[in-house]
Amino acid sequence: GDSVTQMEGPVTLSEEAFLTINCTYTATGYPSLFWYVQYPGEGLQLLLKATKADDKGSNKGFEATYRKETTSFHLEKGSVQVSDSAVYFCALRSNQAGTALIFGKGTTLSVSS
Amino acid sequence: GAGVSQSPSNKVTEKGKDVELRCDPISGHTALYWYRQSLGQGLEFLIYFQGNSAPDKSGLPSDRFSAERTGGSVSTLTIQRTQQEDSAVYLCASSLRASGNRNNEQFFGPGTRLTVL
């Protein structure tokens, strides 16, 4: 079945460091890919998404490119801030009607000043 | 409403008791999803509703788990005879439709943290 694998955390960085969180997937067909973020004490929020190969999703300085050839959707940010400290989830969804999101296990990011 | 709401935010119960978790989706959203977030398992899909019907119950872990949705709005997830392994955060999400539309974003509620002693 479909699955998502993302790098295990925690990831600890200093402010203004470069961030990469790796995500790879296994799926039939052409799923949509997502990054969700969960800030402390808050619910899951969609950070960015890409719906077809070579699409780049971006939001709040974060970017991820849908790479079909490597089945990857790595999350990157050039300069992290303390406020980026959160848990990040990579997810996919088949484009069949009503299908649920399939999530990776999450990566905890901690940014210190 | 402004967003997906869930109640209670926290629930502590004794092993063997039944619990009910409630989800209020965004007004007008026809699709509703339940997920479970537990340590070591990440986020797992439980059940999906389109309107009041549940075309996909494949993620329910056992027959102790059931869910219903009435009036195409509020949904209740019921866990009977709770076990310690049921301890988790239960998340609800809704989307405008359940079609294969690529732009059909799921919006999540804050979750209910269930602790079974």
Question: Do the beta carbons of residue A18 and residue A79 sit within 8 Å?
Answer: yes
> What's the average model confidence in pLDDT over B102-116?
87
Q: Which two tokens stand for residue B91?
A: 């998340």
A·B CB contacts under 8 A: 60
The Cα B28–Cα A85 span in angstroms is 33
Residue of B89, B108, B113 to mutate when probing chain A, most A C-beta within 10 A: B108
Contact at CB, B109 and A43, closer than 8 angstroms? yes
Query: At residue B98, does pLDDT exceed 90?
Result: no
Query: At residue B103, does pLDDT exceed 70?
Result: no
Reference B60, options B77, B84, B38, B39; nearest CA is: B77
Q: CB-based contacts of A54: which residues, under 8 Å, 6+ apart? A: A65, A66, A67, A68
Q: Is B9 on the interface with A (CB under 8 A)?
A: no
Contact at CB, B103 and A97, closer than 8 angstroms? no
Q: CB-based contacts of A10: which residues, under 8 Å, 6+ apart? A: A107, A108, A109, A110
Contact at CB, B56 and A98, closer than 8 angstroms? yes
pLDDT band at B105 (very low <50, low <70, confident <90, very high): confident
pLDDT of residue A30: 85
Set of chain A residues whose Cβ sits within 8 Å of the Cβ of B108: 36, 43-45
pLDDT of residue B102: 55
pLDDT band at B99 (very low <50, low <70, confident <90, very high): low
Beta bridge partners of B22: B7, B76
Whole-number Cα distances in Å, B38 to A102, B88, B89: 14, 5, 6
pLDDT of residue B97: 74
Query: At residue B59, does pLDDT exceed 80?
Result: yes
B10-54 tens-digit pLDDT: 999 999 999 999 999 999 899 999 999 988 778 999 999 988 988
Whole-number Cα distances in Å, A111 to A25, B71, B77: 26, 44, 36
pLDDT of residue B93: 94
Question: Do the beta carbons of residue B23 and residue B34 sit within 8 Å?
Answer: yes
pLDDT of residue A13: 97
**Mean per-residue pLDDT of chain B:** 90
pLDDT of residue A97: 62
Whole-number Cα distances in Å, B109 to A41, A55, B8, B94: 12, 28, 12, 9
| Residue ranges, chain A, pLDDT below 50 | none
pLDDT band at B57 (very low <50, low <70, confident <90, very high): confident
User: Which of B9-18, B52-61, B92-101 shows the lowest mean pLDDT across its residues?
Assistant: B92-101
Set of chain B residues whose Cβ sits within 8 Å of the Cβ of A96: 100
pLDDT band at B101 (very low <50, low <70, confident <90, very high): low
pLDDT band at B8 (very low <50, low <70, confident <90, very high): very high
